[in-house]
Structure 1
Amino acid sequence: MNFTPIEELFEKFDETAQILQEELSCTYLDALGETGENFFHGHVIQEEISELSRKRLSKIYQHFSTRNYTKEDIRKAYQLAILKGMQENIQPNHQMTPDAVGMFVSYLIGKFTNNNQELSMIDPAVGTGNLVFTIMNHLSGQQISAYGVDIDETLIRLAYSGANLQEHSVQFFTQDSLEPLFIDPANVAVSDLPVGYYPNDVRAAEYELAADSGHSYSHHLFIEQSVNHVQDGGYLFFIVPNRLFLSEEAKKLNDYLKKYTHIQGMVQLPLSMFKTEAAAKSILILQKKKEGLHAPKNALLVNLPKLSDARATKSVMGKIDEWFKQEKY
């Protein structure tokens, strides 16, 4: 059989992860993080492996070379293996940003930053790193240093292995993203915001967007944390629920955004991407205020069609280009 490079890589990731899962008595996702490290080093780094499995694994690792695959091949194959692991152990915080969304966010970042040669980027809810890697792969002409934060050790381990395999410069921090972050302000913040309530009311109280009573919305606090960690004039790209500005805390959020940012636009993602209309999301684009910068006369408001509809997509991209000519260039 003729496998595509992605299929071939997935088979390698999957086979070796299953061997390690059995040998280490761990979950598939934990084993995938371990095998990612082995692929990067070119040999088995775990000590507690039987000799037979060590030989099987070593043969696969020694014949692997990143030179035989593109970064996108590696990302997609690794993503497929992660998705397999997530199906075995479904948790609400284990959700990956769809590729089409990541690619469109990449396009927007390139447009808004005018393809600056050097960028620093932070994702405070980095998860497996898939969104960050998609952006870095699609903006390969720009030198991007990235920072990712997540409280989930398994996800951070997968992100770390994924960054090594794709040879990306990313620093990862395993911690509660809403606690103080010891990271220099970045040019760009990007995040597929985790939606829900933040259980730490004491920490939440230190935020302007804390709820007046009860638990605060974690996604609101993530927005504030991101604004705090972006340079003046920097851009923020958030994947948010369509109903973000319809909740009981919406006025406070609106007031906060008007105080600290210029709202650049809102791109509604195709409803066909989501199981229900209630689950539908948009890309919210903000720019942190800076002396001499002004809000656009008209915000970029776009409803993306099904990306399989080439004619409608081309029409929308034309409107976006026209907006940039009028407002940015």
Structure 2
Amino acid sequence: METTNVTKLFEYLDQTSDKLAHQSQLTYLEALAEAGDNLFEGTILQSLSPADEEEVQELLDKVKQLEWKQEEVRKAFQLGVIKGMKGAVQPNHSMTPDAVSLFISYLVNKLVQDRENTELLDLAVGSGNLLFAICNNATTPIEASGFEVDETLLKNAYSSANLQQHQIHLYHQDSLQVVPQKTDLVVSDLPIGYYPKDDVASSFELKAKEGHSYIHHLMIEQGIKSLNDGGFALFVIPNFLFESDQSAALHAYLKKDAVVLGLLQLPSSMFSNVQQQKSILLLQKKKEGIPVPQQALFAELPTFSNKEAMQDMVKQINRWFEEQLKR
């Protein structure tokens, strides 16, 4: 079988990362970003022994003449990041699955199809897989920004963005500690758990009455604050979001400031246990005069590999967009 560009790019990234990690005492994820930087610059940026430099140069020469597409780079980096996360798992090291990223890009296109240009913000960009999938599959121009507190993940996002030739604003900051600029669309795969900075959480309406606040609640509030009136938010959320001890406050906040347009439960087969199961929450920030759907979009998505069932589901979702949002 013919070797694809994704395979060639991943083999370069993987083998070079292994070599750089071993020689420079880096983690695989740290080395992955540097391997991407070498490919972007077309030269070796690290100081290596002559023998190692010769090996890395040979790997680089094999791929730097390729003509790749943006999605090929995204998928190759995705494979590298997945491998790196297995080697050094941290609570904040997770990636939005490919099928979910592509499905969310479809929803984004439905929401912004009547716009000439869309500003999009990701509050927890990670290695950029979700954000890049949206940008690569956009049917209208998107100006994207993303925040990420983890420096290693952000370096991989930066390296991947360069190779995909995306002009994306990436910030190494905690998105809960900034005054958000207004945007048309917020899309985030939310981190889940407690937020340790009580002083920062104290300025949020969804702060806990006692103890630490939930970071996923605070990010929903921050996302809605970031939206222009009438703007949309798409969040990947845990299924237990509305069942926690702080869910009453979240319900009240959403009822006050937003319209819940839909909740799409991701296939249970994607997750190893019930506690890990997730859904896609679709919100719109309230604005005077905008039509409120008579019926929200609630559905349990079929397994993404079941093409016939997914085609039927997409037809139903398209019909909802036409009837309820006039899209």
Q: TM-score, normalised by structure 2?
A: 0.95
Task: State the 1:2 CA deviation.
Answer: 3.8
Give the deviation of 1:60 after TM superposition: 3.3
How far did 1:294 drift? 3.1
For residue 124 of structure 2, what is the aligned residue in structure 1?
A: 125
Q: Hey, what does 2:157 align to over in structure 1?
A: 159
> In structure 1, how many angstroms separate the alpha carbons of the residues matched to 2:8 and 2:61?
15
Contact in 2 for aligned 1:119/1:144 (Cα 8 Å): yes
How many angstroms does 1:310 deviate by? Answer: 2.4
**3-state SS of the aligned residue for 2:232?**
strand
2:287 corresponds to: 290
Instruction: Indicate if the aligned counterparts of 2:188 and 2:235 stay in contact, CA closer than 8 A.
Output: yes
Give the Cα–Cα distance (whole angstroms) in 1 for the partners of residues 114 and 36 of structure 2.
31
Give the alignment partner of residue 178 of structure 2, picking from 174, 180, 183.
180
Distance 2:6 2:262 in 1: 35
Cα shift readout 1:186-213 (whole Å, capped 9, x = no counterpart) = 1110011001001111111100000111
Change (3 A) 1:60 1:116: farther
Query: Following superposition of structure 1 onto structure 2, how do residues 155-304 of structure 1 map, counting pairs within 5 Å?
Result: 155-181=153-179, 184-304=181-301
Counterparts of 1:91 and 1:115, CA distance in 2: 40
Aligned partners of 2:252, 2:113: CA distance in 1, in Å?
28
Partner in structure 2 of residue 19 of structure 1? 19
Alpha-carbon deviation of 1:39? Answer: 0.6
- Letter paired with 1:19: K
Match of 1:10 in 2: 10
Q: Does 1:34 align with 2:31?
A: no
Q: Relative to structure 2, which stretch is displaced further, 108-117 or 81-90?
A: 108-117
Change (3 A) 1:153 1:60: same
Gaps of 5+ in 1: none
After superposition, residues 24-63 of structure 1 pair within 5 angstroms as 24-46=24-46, 48-63=47-62
Q: What is the rounded CA distance, in whole Å, between the counterparts of 2:65 and 2:309 in structure 1? A: 37
Contact 1:75/1:162 (CA < 8 Å) preserved in 2? yes
Following superposition, the deviation at residue 67 of structure 1 comes to: 5.6
| Aligned residues between the structures | 326
Contact 2:258–2:284 (8 Å) recurs in 1:
yes
Moved more, 200-209 or 48-57: 48-57
Q: Distance in 1 between matches of 2:120 and 2:254?
A: 20
* 1:308 CA displacement: 2.0
Render the CA deviation track for 1:107-159: whole Å, top value 9, x for unaligned.
111111125331111111111011101111111x3221111111111011011
Is the Cα contact below 8 Å between 1:178 and 1:221 reproduced in 2? yes
Instruction: Say which is worse superposed, 314-323 or 90-99, in terms of deviation.
Output: 314-323
- In structure 2, relative to structure 1, the CA distance for the partners of 1:251 and 1:66 (3 Å cut) is farther
SS of alignment partner, residue 178 of structure 1: helix
Instruction: Output the CA distance in 2 between the equivalents of 1:105 and 1:170.
Output: 19
Contact 1:262 1:294 in 2 (8 A): no
Partner of 1:110: 109
In the TM superposition, residue 66 of structure 1 has moved relative to its aligned partner by: 7.4
Q: Following the alignment from structure 1 to structure 2, what is the Cα–Cα distance between the partners of residues 307 and 77?
A: 21
Q: Deviations over 1:202-243 (max 9, x none)?
A: 111100000111110100000111111121111100000111
**Aligned residue identity for 1:315:** D
Once the two structures are superposed, residues 16-73 of structure 1 have per-residue CA deviations (whole angstroms, 9 ceiling, x without a partner) of 1112112211111101111111111110122x22223223323433453476222111
Q: What's the counterpart of residue 95 of structure 2?
A: 96
Distance verdict in 2 for CA 1:235–1:89, change over 3 Å: same
- TM-score scaled by structure 1? 0.95
In 2: Cα distance, 1:65 partner to 1:168 partner: 18
Q: 1:83 — aligned with what?
A: 82
The alignment-based identity, stated in percent, is: 43
For structure 2, the 5+ residue unaligned runs are none
Contact 1:66 1:165 in 2 (8 A): no
Report deviation, 1:290: 1.6
